[in-house]
Amino acid sequence: MPVLDDSEFLTPGDAIMRREAIFLLVPALALAIVFAAAAADLKRGVTDPADAGPDFKVQGEYVGESQAKDGKKKKYGAQVIALGDGKFHVVGYAGGLPGEGWDKSEKDQVDGKTVDGVPTFSIEKDHIILKIKDGVLTVTKDGKEQVGLLKKVERKSPTLGAKPPAGAVVLFDGTTPDAFKGGRMTEDKLLMEGVTSKDNFGSCTLHMEFMTPFKPHARGQGRGNSGFYAQGRYEVQILDSFGLEGKDNECGGIYSIGPPAVNMCFPPLSWQTYDVDFTAAEWKEGKKVKNARMTVRHNGVLIHDDVELPKTTTAAPVKENDQPGPVYLQNHGNPVRFRNIWVKEKK
């Protein structure tokens, strides 16, 4: 029996309406697919600010003045963290941003969400409302009196673009990833994660630049995770730890050994720097007689000062021995990007 199209039973007017409905449905489905793809990209991690969406434009660092609890105006810094779907978390720092004035006092923290297109935060016990619009964070009290105003800033590491000194080994300068085993480069000439240098190094100084992806829906170790391993043994964690506490398993921490002195993590999709002075362990007759040591500057700020490394860190691919080791950049399933990597061995 032939299958009948039910349009045979429709009036001409009904048939026209059905065809118009189908034509309307097709672009709607296409739009839904685009939105679904964009949501999936955000969960995987966005590496291009143009694809990051409206929440990314709000996230970042703000600096200005606000009224303190004693009623006096003072400098404040704020870090606004995107949590996905129009939700945000704000961390406030008396004196200025971390590494740039924060007095190390207790941080003020509050959650908020976008209301009528404006990210809004309420501190009910103090009758304080925070709103962010056009790169400005305003603080009002009792619903009317403005007591603070902070403007969005974009900090840059003072060592960004540092040139390799004479005698340095350039591992990556954007021309080729061939200095690394498994080296892969993006179309915009950035090194991808999960690579091991072909050269091995002993005591040395190292400069590298990295960028964590924008993953607003992720939390903790799922948010832009990678790591730099000196000699493939000792990891300085790479993670989107913007606005977090600054623990040993967060950005700048020497994994499982010690936290950074201050959390200097910039917002995701910002270029950041590690400048490392590494002293290799000393061995005699196959026995370690002196532990390795490491000094680290994150975005130009000293976060580890000649820290002793009594053991290899968690998940280190190279065991401790008397041989030099490679620079290893961990693949933890996140699209972390690298550039301008060079190493100079110490005599």
How far is residue 254's CA from residue 251's CA, in Å, rounded to a whole number?
Answer: 9
How far is residue 19's CA from residue 47's CA, in Å, rounded to a whole number?
Answer: 41
pLDDT cut 90: percent of the chain above it? 80
Mean pLDDT across 107-129: 94
Q: What pTM value is reported for the model?
A: 0.86
How far is residue 109's CA from residue 86's CA, in Å, rounded to a whole number?
Answer: 17
The predicted structure's pLDDT at residue 347: 82
* 91, containing H or E segment: strand 87-94
The predicted structure's pLDDT at residue 88: 98
159 pLDDT higher than 70: yes
The predicted structure's pLDDT at residue 5: 40
The predicted structure's pLDDT at residue 220: 85
State the CB neighbour count (10 A cutoff) for residue 27.
Answer: 9
Query: ∠ CA 175-177-181 to the nearest 5 degrees?
Result: 165
pLDDT in tens, 165-206: 999 999 999 999 999 999 999 999 999 999 999 999 999 999
Short-list 267, 272, 268, CA closest to 213 = 268
1 pLDDT higher than 60: no
Among 20-29, 175-184, 319-328, the range scoring the smallest mean pLDDT is 20-29
Q: Which residue has the higher pLDDT, 21 or 315?
A: 315
Contact 250, 239 (CB under 8 A): yes
pLDDT cut 70: percent of the chain above it? 87
Q: Is 144 helix (H, G, I), strand (E, B) or coil?
A: coil
Edge-to-edge strand list for the sheet holding 234-238: 180-181, 195-197, 328-329, 226-230, 234-238
One-letter amino acid at 164 equals P
- Distance of CA 116 to CAs 90, 122, 285, Å? 19, 15, 70
Q: What is 101-116 written as a DSSP string?
A: B---PPPEEEEEEEET
Q: Which residues touch 109 (CB under 8 Å, ≥6 apart)? A: 89, 90, 91, 92
**What are the residues facing 67 on neighbouring strands?**
73
pLDDT in tens, 255-293: 999 999 999 999 999 999 999 999 999 999 999 999 999
Q: What is 231-257 written as a DSSP string?
A: TTTEEEEE---TTS---TTSTT-BTTT
The predicted structure's pLDDT at residue 292: 98
Mean pLDDT across 125-132: 92
How far is residue 43's CA from residue 36's CA, in Å, rounded to a whole number?
Answer: 11
If you average pLDDT over every residue of the chain, what do you get?
A: 90
40 pLDDT higher than 60: no
The predicted structure's pLDDT at residue 222: 84
- Confidence tier at 33 by pLDDT (50, 70, 90): very low
Q: Which residue bears the tokens 């600096």?
A: 63
140 pLDDT higher than 80: yes
